[in-house]
Amino acid sequence: MNDNRFRVIKLAQQIDKKGIKWIILKCLVDALVSYWLILMPSLIISLLYKEINDLSLWISTGLILGIFAVLKLISVLLKKINDNHKNFMIEKYRELKIKKAFSIEFKWLETSEFEKTLQGIQYNDENFGAFGNYLGELEKLFTNIVRVIYALIIFTGIGIEMYNSNILKEFLSLTIILCILVFLTVMGIKKLQEYVSKRLPDVMDKIVDLNTITMVLYDDVVQNYYCGKDVRLFAIDKLVHDEGEHMLTEFAPNSKKQILLTQAAGIAGSILSVIIGGIAFIFLGIFGAEGILNPGVLLAYAGNVIGLVESVVSLSFVSSTLKLWNLRLNDSFILLNMLEESGGDDFKHYPNEIELRNIYFKYPESSSDVLKGVSVTINRGDKIAVVGRNGSGKSTFIKVLTGMYQPAKGEILVNGNNINGLSINGYRSQFAAVFQDFTMFSFDIGENIAVNQEYNTTKIKNILEQLNMWNKIESMPKKLNTFIYQDYADEGIEISGGGSSKVINCKGVI
């Protein structure tokens, strides 16, 4: 495994240091339970072939069953503990992604690459539960490794028994044949996995691209309340329907390819495991028919062979599945590794003067600068207007000024002090910016204005009165507690464009 394959384990350990340890402990016990199930019948049959009295037979059988019951009980308890740790890690992982999305540099939020990353997270990670499934496959990996070790220990004991029965040569010959078959099976599955590894990323990228377009079409057009009038006025419904049909036509075959590629190794491994197990039973049937060995030993050998083959093949399959889930987590780790906005010391300057000195800025997906060598000084009390043609950089200039974008070159000075190393959120708090493309959240009106659950009602009322908005809000049954839209409350209201502008302006003043 390369370092990229260990990233989920490292992240899980950062979230919950004991989580991986509990997984390993559970795997040790689970593997022991599975092999005790194989050994139990053979041990009991072997006891029946020995000349012991009935009391000793019952005591020994009870002891064998008792050991299994204790192991099973421990396994169930460990599963409960392990599930709690896994659920905790999954929730914390989601929380990490949400926090990261709020803390990355703002300029990335407006790029198509970031939009594609979010769609990739939604489709590949969230929809499939990739992080939780990776932890589940990791558990299978550890369990099968331990099962292989247990199988080798059991084979050693059976080898000693067969040596005493003078059929060591036959035992070794059969074991070598089975090992060769297992080796060929693993190599075949590995070749199949290499083929899958080459084809699968392209198929997944294609599905994410199609999903991105489909979701934009669905969220921005079909479910968008404000698009309703345009759809009707310009008869866009046929165009939307045709675009949707085209997406579905391309999505279906790629989805089938993905399913086939992800399941191919598992299907092949299961078929070959059955074949190898069948070969082992044929030879063991011959030994049993000739009465060469105790049936209990033969049963232990047969069960051990099947268990070993399943574990080795499963290891190969689990390795492939881990690669798949790791691949599905790529976009999530792109998000988690994105640069965060600078923290820095608290902002303690009361701005009497703000200076932008020789500012350069360009967008992440652009090859040319939007702002080139811009310098301006704004003193307290100044009233300025930024004028220019469409696309000349007016909005970009305001976003740099308010700290939404970080300049590629140049300095921003407050009272002659460079803001680098200071809290970017503290700097932003000095501005009341209302952009043309504002957002109204599905909270109540008061919370939309104050951006807080607790606010000064009198202060908000005075500002709304100046904007000729208070009379309308006062006529509502819940006044400032009236929800906007119906996402959180059935009695939520749809607010007009002019009303929204007044509410947002009130927020700017607050």
Which pLDDT band holds residue 115 (cuts at 50, 70, 90)?
Answer: confident
- CATH number at 128 reads 1.20.1560.10
pLDDT at 232: 66
Q: Do 27 and 54 sit in the same domain of this protein?
A: yes
pLDDT at 85: 92
Residues 266-311 have pLDDT tens digits of 677 777 777 777 777 777 666 666 655 667 777 777 777 778 877 8
Residue range(s) defining the domain that contains residue 133 = 3-336
Which pLDDT band holds residue 148 (cuts at 50, 70, 90)?
Answer: confident
Q: Say which residue, 247 or 353, is predicted with more confidence.
A: 353
Question: Which of 286, 304, 336 finishes a domain?
Answer: 336
Q: Do 277 and 392 sit in the same domain of this protein?
A: no
Q: SS3 of 341, please?
A: coil
Lowest-confidence pick of 98-107, 162-171, 250-259, 385-394: 162-171
pLDDT at 88: 93
Question: Which of 398, 428, 458 finishes a domain?
Answer: 428
Whether 438 is in a domain gets the answer no
Answer yes or no: is pLDDT of 229 > 70: no
Q: 85-99, 159-173, 195-209, 241-255 — which one is most confidently predicted on average?
A: 85-99
Q: Do 300 and 399 sit in the same domain of this protein?
A: no
Q: Do 290 and 197 sit in the same domain of this protein?
A: yes
d(CA 337, CA 10): 14
pLDDT at 484: 79
Answer yes or no: is pLDDT of 77 > 90: yes
Q: SS3 of 129, please?
A: coil
Residues 428-471 have pLDDT tens digits of 877 877 777 777 777 887 787 777 777 778 888 888 888 777 88
Q: Do 205 and 91 sit in the same domain of this protein?
A: yes
pLDDT at 20: 87
DSSP type of residue 342: P
Q: DSSP string covering 60-106, please?
A: HHHHHHHHHHHHHHHHHHHHHHHHHHHHHHHHHHHHHHHHHHHHB-G
Q: Do 85 and 180 sit in the same domain of this protein?
A: yes
pLDDT at 288: 62
CA 460 and chain centroid, separation:
41
Which pLDDT band holds residue 1 (cuts at 50, 70, 90)?
Answer: very low
Answer yes or no: is pLDDT of 161 > 50: yes
Q: Do 325 and 398 sit in the same domain of this protein?
A: no
For the residues 71-89, what does the mean pLDDT come to? 92
CB 71 within 8 A of CB 33: yes
Q: Do 253 and 394 sit in the same domain of this protein?
A: no
Residues 332-370 have pLDDT tens digits of 998 888 766 665 556 666 778 889 999 998 887 778 888
When the pLDDT of each residue in the chain is averaged and rounded to a whole number, the result is 79
Answer yes or no: is pLDDT of 26 > 80: yes
Q: Do 331 and 360 sit in the same domain of this protein?
A: no
Answer yes or no: is pLDDT of 67 > 80: yes
Q: Do 360 and 332 sit in the same domain of this protein?
A: no
pLDDT at 87: 92
Q: Do 166 and 235 sit in the same domain of this protein?
A: yes
Whether 347 is in a domain gets the answer no
Whether 268 is in a domain gets the answer yes
Structurally, how many domains does the chain consist of?
3
Residues 171-185 have pLDDT tens digits of 677 777 777 877 787
Whether 341 is in a domain gets the answer no
Residues 367-380 have pLDDT tens digits of 888 899 989 998 98
Whether 266 is in a domain gets the answer yes
- CATH number at 399 reads 3.40.50.300
pLDDT at 390: 84
Residues 382-430 have pLDDT tens digits of 888 888 888 888 888 988 888 888 888 898 888 888 887 777 777 887 7
d(CA 425, CA 343): 8
Contacts of residue 222, Cβ cutoff 8 Å, sequence gap at least 6: 240
Instruction: Using a pLDDT cut of 70, give the percent of the chain over it.
Output: 85
CB 335 within 8 A of CB 117: yes
Exposure letters 450-478 (e unless 16+ CB within 10 A, then b): beeeeeeeeebbebbeeeebbeebeeeee
Contacts of residue 258, Cβ cutoff 8 Å, sequence gap at least 6: 200, 203, 204, 207
Residues 255-268 have pLDDT tens digits of 777 777 777 766 77
Whether 87 is in a domain gets the answer yes
Q: Say which residue, 415 or 162, is predicted with more confidence.
A: 415
Whether 149 is in a domain gets the answer yes
Q: Do 371 and 329 sit in the same domain of this protein?
A: no
